Structure 1
Amino acid sequence: MSTQKLQIKWCGEKQFEATSAAGHKVKMDGPPSGGGMDAGTRPMEMVLMGLAGCSAFDVVTILNKKRIEMTALDVHVEAFRVDKIPAVFESIHLTFVIRSPNATEKALNHACSLSVDKYCSVAAMLKAGGVKIHFSVEHINT
């Protein structure tokens, strides 16, 4: 088992600064309607960023191993939260937009499926909490 550590520092109002063990910093804040100043990423957005980043990392790794050339990869995320407290995610849809001159639809779908269904730790954690995660792939042949 490995351990990960980070620190959260309150910066006043509803603002916080997260610092990773490697020293990387991220500012968090809430919306004005919740007492924040909208000066940083919301914590639940960070969860979605973690999911998209983890999955994108996997997809790049898988496609590199398959020797599939990629010129761009974007992941668009649409998430739905329940209308009660805590307002957890109910479902998330990831759209992988991949630019590749030599990929097939089958290879791209397989790489994304391996990530979302097998390798992505963030997806596994969210699914264990009951979140439904779906994905689609848009291939741009360039």
Structure 2
Amino acid sequence: MQATVRWDGAVQFSATPSSGHTVIMDGSPDLGGTNAGPRPMEMMLMGLGGCTSIDVMLMLQKSRQDVTDCVAELTAERADAVPAVFTKIHVHFVVTGRDLKESHVKRAIELSAEKYCSASIMLAAGGVEITHSYALIEADR
């Protein structure tokens, strides 16, 4: 895996990974940013959400769960001092579907957190406390 991050001026950067999808990152306005894109730490949080969501959905599909929507809502706390690393992250899944089995959803989230999600495991190994919760919503028929 590779990525290139190019300075675009002020505190704005264009990041292009090996997949070729460029993302703009920008610093906050108090640092001279223009709010042209997410902050780098927001990108890390979104990356964690994407990583664990892919795991959960693949497992739910494999167990033949009729999922119609899956949203991961992430909240994070950061240290007050520099470096302002993440100290706590909570991932709340809202899974919508028909006749979903709670045990399958719970197990998929656990397996992602403990075994499959590289981002989650890496952050946890670095001392970030990561917690999970979920809600199931029955979809209309």
Q: Which runs of 5+ in 1 are unaligned?
A: none
Q: Which residue of 2 aligns with 1:37?
A: 34
Q: Which residue of 1 aligns with 2:54?
A: 57
1:20 matched to 2:20? The reply is no
Structure 2 residue matching 1:70: 3-state secondary structure: strand
State the distance in 2 between where 1:70 and 1:106 align.
14
Q: 2:100 corresponds to which letter in structure 1?
A: A
Q: Summarize the alignment of residues 1-142 of structure 1 with structure 2, pairs less than 5 Å apart.
A: 4-142=1-139
Superposed structure 1 runs of 4+ greater than 4 Å apart: none
**TM-score calculated relative to the size of structure 2:** 0.96
Question: After superposition, what is the alpha-carbon deviation per residue over 1:79-101, rounded to whole angstroms, capped at 9, x for unaligned?
Answer: 00010000000010000000011
State the distance in 1 between where 2:32 and 2:83 align.
18
Question: After superposition, what is the alpha-carbon deviation per residue over 1:101-135, rounded to whole angstroms, capped at 9, x for unaligned?
Answer: 12122221111111112110000110110001001
Matched residues, percent identical?
45
Structure 2 residue matching 1:19: 3-state secondary structure: strand
For residue 69 of structure 1, report the CA deviation from its aligned partner: 1.0
State the distance in 1 between where 2:33 and 2:50 align.
26
Structure 2 residue matching 1:50: 3-state secondary structure: helix
Structure 2 residue matching 1:123: 3-state secondary structure: helix
State the distance in 1 between where 2:17 and 2:75 align.
26
Of 29-38 and 57-66, more deviation after overlay is shown by 29-38
Q: How many residues are aligned here?
A: 139
> By percentage of residues, which structure has more strand?
2
